[in-house]
Amino acid sequence: MNLTKRYRRVHAVTDVSFAVRRGSVTGFLGPNGSGKTTTLRVLLGLVTPTSGHALIDGRRYRELANPARHVGAVLEPAAYPTRAAVDHLHALALPLRVGRDRVDEVLGLVGLEDAAGRAVGSFSLGMRQRLALAGALLGDPELLVLDEPANGLDPEGIRWLRDFLRSWAAEGRTALLSSHVLAEVTQTVDHVVIIDRGRVALDAPMPEIGSGSVTVRTPHADLLADLLADLLAADDGAGTGTGTGVDIGGPHPLRAADGPAPARRVGPDELRLPYGWAARVGQLAAEHRIPLVELHTTGPDLEGVFFALTRGGSDGRDTAAGPVRRPRMAGR
């Protein structure tokens, strides 16, 4: 709580406080130099805070019994270059008291079984990231701490990481994931903490940031808006559900965001609708032969929130004073 770390005159983090809930994937976001890595390293006992403390299950990392069996961390793709990948993992497995079988298992899990005997120095950055993740998984931990895990990954690797984190969360496990690549976390995290210049600028669940929207451009925007309003009225009368199959488990899309009217006019030929309406708009336009110039769904506007909160320099100097900026969010 109230974590502060100062390197000589530079405030790396200032009075940072947030909590990670068990069973959630928390995105820890911020520009380069905002204090993400310092915060994670304090949590893992590698850096001593100037004041405050970081706790896991109410205890400091080094106070946990065999901590690498509770917490797996991917901080940097570190490995001795001439050591084979399997030996690198075995050197970590020995003090953890996990056997060779587990080493082979985690190598398979990250897709490096074919490169197990190769020296790590010959690995690409993406392969090193996978190896780092394999090392974090050795102790079969409940909490994963990942610092910029997508660095060096190609698009396929990023997709693999996203799927991995989703399956991780689906098992009810916990992850704290730092990143400055917003696209990588938007589809993965349940909760977002944004840090800027060493201070927490936002700490909110993803649903509060917004659930995205559908944009429609058509020369007959008025006609389409009227038809959508009729559809809303008919649905209200029939008392039916969402009908689109999109946004499972989410709020009723007709009432989700923009009041009673599903379509909001944002330009002479442009409408904005709640998330999950794309299929119905397409179907309605086809039924009434309305030409559509554009129809697309935008994800949660994490990027907009991020840039609104982190605008300006981020060298961490002289930021000890001044209020913590509070975010302006949808639904608050």
Partner 1 sequence: MTTSFTGGSPGGRPADAQPADAQPANAQRASHRRGAVASRSDTHTPAGRPAGIGLLVRTELFKLSTSRGQRAAVALFLLVQIPMLAFWGRGTLPESTWDGLRSRSGLLLGYLLMALGVQIAASEFRWRTATLTWLVTPARHRVLGAQLLTVVVLGTVLSALTFTAWVVCGVARQDGPTMRLDRPGELAAAFAVVAVTVCAAGVVGVSAGALTRGPSAALLGLVGVGLLELIGDSTRFRGPVTSPLGVLGWPTSELSTVSLWASVGWAVAATAAALAALRRDLPG
Query: CA dist 129 to 110, 112, 123, 290, 321, Å?
Result: 10, 11, 10, 49, 37
Measured in degrees and rounded to the nearest 5, phi and psi for residue 187 equal: -90, 5
Residues 17-46 close enough to bind partner 1 by CB under 8 A: 17-25, 37-39, 41-46
- Residue 265 tokens read as 């006019």
Measured in degrees and rounded to the nearest 5, phi and psi for residue 228 equal: -70, -35
The tally of CA atoms less than 13 A away on the side-chain side of residue 324 is 16
Local structure of 147: helix, strand or coil: strand
Residues 176-205 close enough to bind partner 1 by CB under 8 A: 176, 190-191, 205
Query: Which residue of 51, 80, 313, 326 would you call a contact of partner 1, by CB under 8 A?
Result: 80
Question: Tokens 């587990």 sit at which residue?
Answer: 102
Task: Find all residues with CB under 8 Å of 229, minimum gap 6, and list them.
Answer: 261, 262, 263
Question: Tokens 């570190």 sit at which residue?
Answer: 78
Determine if 164 is a binding residue for partner 1 (CB under 8 A): yes
Question: Tokens 């928390």 sit at which residue?
Answer: 26
Residues 44-63 close enough to bind partner 1 by CB under 8 A: 44-48, 52-58, 61-62
Residues 119-138 close enough to bind partner 1 by CB under 8 A: 119, 135
Of 274, 233, 235, 239, which is closest to residue 253 (Cα–Cα)? 274
Given the rule CB under 8 A, which of 94-102, 258-266, 275-283, 297-305 is the region that contacts partner 1? Answer: 94-102
- Give least dist CB 61 to partner 1, A: 6
Determine if 85 is a binding residue for partner 1 (CB under 8 A): no
Residues 255-274 close enough to bind partner 1 by CB under 8 A: none
Q: What is the CA radius of gyration of the chain?
A: 24
Query: Which residue of 117, 125, 172, 303 would you call a contact of partner 1, by CB under 8 A?
Result: 172
Given the rule CB under 8 A, which of 97-105, 217-225, 264-272, 286-294 is the region that contacts partner 1? Answer: 97-105
Query: Which residue of 101, 114, 156, 287 would you call a contact of partner 1, by CB under 8 A?
Result: 101
Query: Which residue of 207, 243, 282, 299 would you call a contact of partner 1, by CB under 8 A?
Result: 207
Given the rule CB under 8 A, which of 79-87, 212-220, 232-240, 269-277 is the region that contacts partner 1? Answer: 79-87
Interface with partner 1 (CB under 8 A), residue total 86
Q: Which amino acid type is present at position 326?
A: R
Determine if 154 is a binding residue for partner 1 (CB under 8 A): no
Cβ-based nearer residue to partner 1, 78 or 125: 78
